[in-house]
Amino acid sequence: MPTLNCNCRCTYCYIPDKKYNSILTEQDYCQIIDKYKKYSAGYLPYPEKFQLRFTGGEPYLTSPLVEDLSNYFLSQFPQGLVVINTNGTLINEQNLSRFNGKFKSSLVHVLSVDSIEKIHNIRRPLVNGQNSFEKTIQAFNLLQHQQYPVYINSVIDQQTCDYIDEFFYYLKSELRTGDISISLRQDSTDSLSRNTKFNFLTRIYKLASQFNIRVSGHHRLLLGNQIPELKCQAGKTTAVITSQARVYPCQRFVGTDVFKSISTHRLDFKRADNFTDIQPHCYSPDNLWLGEKLFELYEKHYPYYLKINELDRILFGVVD
């Protein structure tokens, strides 16, 4: 997380305070990458599975840091992958030109588009109150035109699910994309029951099948007890490093007291227990129930999803 600041004011944002000052410099981040490379040499057998993932806040507020770190990471891990989660409103030809072209196929953008234009703009306005949808779609088209891998992530709740059929039609007819990442809304104001959430997922998978759209996203981690490769590995195979030089097991815990963060100096890549067990937080009784129901849905109607796939690896870093 190169910054917690953002140029959007999403109605469901989980970052509690965006007024932090950045401490880490580009050199600091590069030293962390160097430390990881030193640890991984001769120890980790799958360099093609190494990933650098940007989230926020809005990563492109730190441009050219994002571009420079992406280039440096891929120069050290040529078989690795960089994934940039962004609202897309700041992407332009100038910042894309800073990426090393030889790494283009390994530079993945995941753009946040929640729904059709009128709903998206209600949920994700710019900080100045203006609409964000048009700018995000312009970025999607630019990335496609320049042949960067680009995907859409949508946060699903009652508001967006009411328009999911129109949204899927837009994805296929206008954006001409056949993939989507789905995240269930999980902020503190979300009071939806597990049955309602399962009904959302049931409808999404049914429509996705009709529109020939592949589905992935963080909701698939609910299946961790049924599909071992989808077990949440936050804090074990992943770590979130903020610009305040703090390390968390997952971005959902940034700025909260659920886990005591550690400093970047104390992060030990040789340990899988930098943090206490996060499983009770990820797999609550309701989430376990959702996982069981989703698995049953797959078995009955969508057996393709019983195994992890390319989208799982790209969109939320599953390592098999």
Residue 48: the pLDDT is 56
Q: Cα angle vertex 258, ends 320, 280, to 5°?
A: 50
Whether residue 178 is contained in a domain is answered as yes
Whether residue 11 is contained in a domain is answered as no
Residue 229 sits in which domain range?
26-316
Report the CATH number at residue 65: 3.20.20.70
- The 3-class secondary structure across 16-40, one letter per residue, is CCCCCCCCCCHHHHHHHHHHHHHHH
* Other Cβ atoms within 10 Å of 78 Cβ, number: 12
Whether residue 9 is contained in a domain is answered as no
Beta strands in 141-242 (DSSP E): 150-156, 179-184, 214-216, 240-241
CA distance 263 to 242: 10
Whether residue 263 is contained in a domain is answered as yes
What is the sign, positive or negative, of the torsion defined by CA atoms of 54, 132, 140, 64?
negative
Q: What is the tally of structural domains in the chain?
A: 1
Whether residue 14 is contained in a domain is answered as no
The more confident residue out of 281 and 207 is: 207
pLDDT, tens only, 54-83: 988 899 999 999 999 999 999 999 988 999
Whether residue 3 is contained in a domain is answered as no
Reported as half-sphere exposure (CB side, CA atoms, 13 A), residue 48 has a value of: 4
DSSP string of 260-272? --EEGGG--TT-S
Report if pTM > 0.85.
yes
Average pLDDT for residues 297-301, to the nearest whole number?
98
Whether residue 17 is contained in a domain is answered as no
Instruction: Sort residue 129 into left (φ over 0), alpha (ψ -120 to 50) or beta.
Output: left
Is the pLDDT at 92 greater than 70? The verdict is yes
Whether residue 266 is contained in a domain is answered as yes
Average pLDDT for residues 158-186, to the nearest whole number?
94
